[in-house]
Copies of this chain bind each other. A is one copy, B any other.
Amino acid sequence: MLRISKLTDYSTVVMSYLAREPNKMHNARDIMAHTQLNLPTVSKILKMLHKAGLLRSQRGANGGYSLMLPPESISITQILAAMEGNVALTECSTHHSHCSIESICHIRTNWRSISRIVQESLSKITLADMLRP
């Protein structure tokens, strides 16, 4: 039903928590306690967000994660992209797919524009917006 995955959903929860104190380091255990997600999941999400460049990490004792950018500068699209790759409503919108009817399908470019429209409307929403109720 045009869903984002649970992990992606959770990642916005994690990011929102970090955004409340953008300059403070938070370790996985701390985030777990405040989001009620379990540790392996939190840990997995943090690694993915870090790999995508949205978080800064510090190893070792007293280490942890913090936002790479201020909450106003991080869009929902970026979080989505970090967790799931680019927003593309159909397979053929991105790479050459294995869709069996690709050769005769005439609406591919239309789907591409539609994806772009969705992407643009999501990119206008930032993490800072998510903090407000």
Decide if A87 touches B130 in the complex (CB within 8 Å).
no
Query: 0/1 per residue, A50-76, Cβ < 8 Å to B?
Result: 000000000000000000000000001
Choose among B6, B121, B130 the residue that contacts A91 (Cβ–Cβ < 8 A): B6
Decide if A36 touches B100 in the complex (CB within 8 Å).
yes
Choose among B12, B87, B121, B132 the residue that contacts A2 (Cβ–Cβ < 8 A): B87
Known contacts A2-B87, A85-B1: A130-B101 contact under CB 8 Å: no
Question: Which of chain B's residues has its CB closest to A76's CB?
Answer: B114
Choose among B6, B84, B101, B125 the residue that contacts A13 (Cβ–Cβ < 8 A): B101
A: number of interface residues (CB 8 Å): 44
Known contacts A13-B105, A88-B3: A117-B110 contact under CB 8 Å: no
- Asked if A106 lies at the interface with its beta carbon under 8 angstroms from chain B, I say yes
Q: List 8 A-B contacts (CB under 8 A).
A: A1-B87, A2-B88, A4-B90, A6-B99, A12-B111, A16-B107, A76-B114, A109-B133
Residues on A facing B (Cβ under 8 Å): 1-4, 6, 9-10, 12-13, 16, 35-37, 76, 80, 84-91, 94, 99-101, 104-107, 109-111, 114, 117-118, 121-122, 125, 129-130, 132-133
